[in-house]
Amino acid sequence: MFAGPDPEALAGLDAIVCPPYTRLADCVAAGLTTYAQNVHWEPEGAFTGEISAPMLVELGVTGSLVGHSERRQLFGETDEGVARRAEAALSAGLGVIACVGETLEQREADETEDVLRRQVTALPQDGRLVIAYEPVWAIGTGMTATPELAQDAHAFIKSLLDVPVLYGGSVKPDNAAGLFAQPDVDGALVGGASLDVDSFRAICQAADSPS
């Protein structure tokens, strides 16, 4: 599953775009499988600045990200809040990509499994739930987990919850194939690299024929 704009490169792949709220309707109208970048846990009420699951359904959006590392780090979202957002979206019939991952400090303190266990076990069990493992230290930094580190984290997450697990964290054309070759890496949550058509196409091709 990918965030990116090139339909021709997506044949045979399960591809999703996650644009800002202002472009959701455009992506839906273009025939793209469209997820929001976040969703609130209440169906209605006085929550200025939030968007509810019923609003997304009305737009034709089919799912949402929840718990992205930037939401956790910059906006103070908690495991409980992420779980509530996921539950609300799933109850409304939306798919959910729930993001989990440790900071550099937590990894260096050997707390990765404790952090992942806490974040993953807070999530609801549902057939429409997908988890994205995005180590915070590898997002927008140019650092990427080695394929072996990604595999270890993905295998651990799947031991807690039997769902597809995507890797997110500076995924680029030159590292995508190695990541996709790992048995428990089911796809990617692509950030900056999805904004360049050629870069995104190369990642899609790596996913379509992993080594």
**pLDDT score of 107:** 92
Residue 52 has pLDDT above 90, yes or no: yes
Residue 169 binned pLDDT confidence (cut-offs 50, 70, 90): confident
Kindly list the structural domains of the chain, giving each domain's residue range(s) and its CATH number in brackets, ordered by start. Answer: 7-208 (3.20.20.70)
**pLDDT score of 11:** 59
Structure tokens given for 118? 């806490």
Contact 193/7 with Cβ under 8 angstroms?
Answer: no
**pLDDT score of 207:** 87
Residue 4 binned pLDDT confidence (cut-offs 50, 70, 90): very low
Residue tagged active-site, from 40, 77, 134, 154: 134
| Alpha carbon distance 49, 6 (integer Å) | 30
List pLDDT tens digits, range 84-129.
Answer: 999 999 999 999 999 999 999 999 999 999 999 999 999 999 999 9
Contact 39/11 with Cβ under 8 angstroms?
Answer: no
Residue tagged active-site, from 68, 77, 87, 154: 68
List pLDDT tens digits, range 13-43.
Answer: 888 999 999 999 999 999 999 999 999 999 9
Residue 132 has pLDDT above 90, yes or no: yes
Q: Which amino acid is at 186?
A: D
Mean pLDDT of 53-63: 98
* Number of C-beta neighbours around residue 195 at 10 A: 12
Q: Answer yes or no: 154 catalytic.
A: no
Instruction: Decide which of 82 and 142 is more confident.
Output: 82
Mean pLDDT of 43-66: 97
Tell me the pLDDT of the chain averaged across its residues.
91
Q: Answer yes or no: 134 catalytic.
A: yes
Structure tokens given for 22? 């202002």
